[in-house]
Amino acid sequence: MTIPVAMTVNGKPVSGKVEARTLLVQFLREHLGMTGTHVGCDTSQCGACVVHVDGKSVKSCTILAVQAEGAKVTTIEGLAESAEKLHPMQEAFRENHALQCGFCTPGMVMSAIDMVKRHNYQLDEATVRRELEGNLCRCTGYHNIVKAILAAAPAMKSAGV
């Protein structure tokens, strides 16, 4: 049985027909071809699939596409203004070498942006480390990810994003 679904993804209206069991991440990757959002563990642990649904970080492998009906979804593809001008969080990840293989990076960046906003752009290292509990990275040992998030918080504030 297919169900029509419509939502806004990165500012653009999108629609499609999905099965009830289609996950939001499957809709993004397989129906819309937006493969920036990754599936790591598929068991709600690793956070590689984090996107924003109505401004809040959500594991897109643990929400049905039909549950996002009418929602505003932001993915990693929707952050940069252009190929030249990255989002401050993406820029900070690049500057601080906060990735190695890059598989966890989309989810890290999306969780990090939500974290900075929830803490009103003011974070310390202990808070960043605790708040990253839902995102796993198997390469970096987290040090540079933490540095990048701490660097991005004031950059996001001054950029007004």
Partner 1 sequence: MYDFHYHRPKTLADAVNLLKGKDEARPMSGGMTLIPTLKQRLAKPSDVVDLGGIKDLAGIKVEGNNVVIGGMTRHADVASSADVKSAIPALAHLAGHIGDPAVRNRGTIGGSVANNDPAADYPAAVLALGATITTNTGKHAADSFFKGLFETALSDGELITSISFPKAEKAAYMKFPNPASRYAMVGVFVAKTAAGVRVAVTGAGPSVFRVKAMEDALAKNFSSAAIKDIKIPADGLNSDIHASAEYRAHLVNVMARRAVDAATK
Contact call for residue 1 and partner 1 (CB under 8 A): yes
* Least distance (Å) between residue 82 CB and partner 1: 28
Alpha helices, H only, the chain: 24-26, 88-95, 105-118, 125-131, 143-159
Report the residue from 7, 58, 137, 149 that binds partner 1 according to the rule CB under 8 A. 58
* Least distance (Å) between residue 65 CB and partner 1: 10
Q: How far apart are CA 65 and CA 68, in angstroms?
A: 5
Report the residue from 6, 15, 17, 44 that binds partner 1 according to the rule CB under 8 A. 44
55 CB-contact burial (10 Å; exposed 0-12 / middle 13-18 / buried 19+): exposed
Query: Among residues 83, 81, 22, 10, which one has the least CA distance to residue 52?
Result: 10
Contacting positions for partner 1 (CB under 8 A) = 1, 3, 19-21, 23, 42-45, 47, 50, 56-59, 62-64, 66-67, 69, 111, 114-115, 118, 131, 133-135
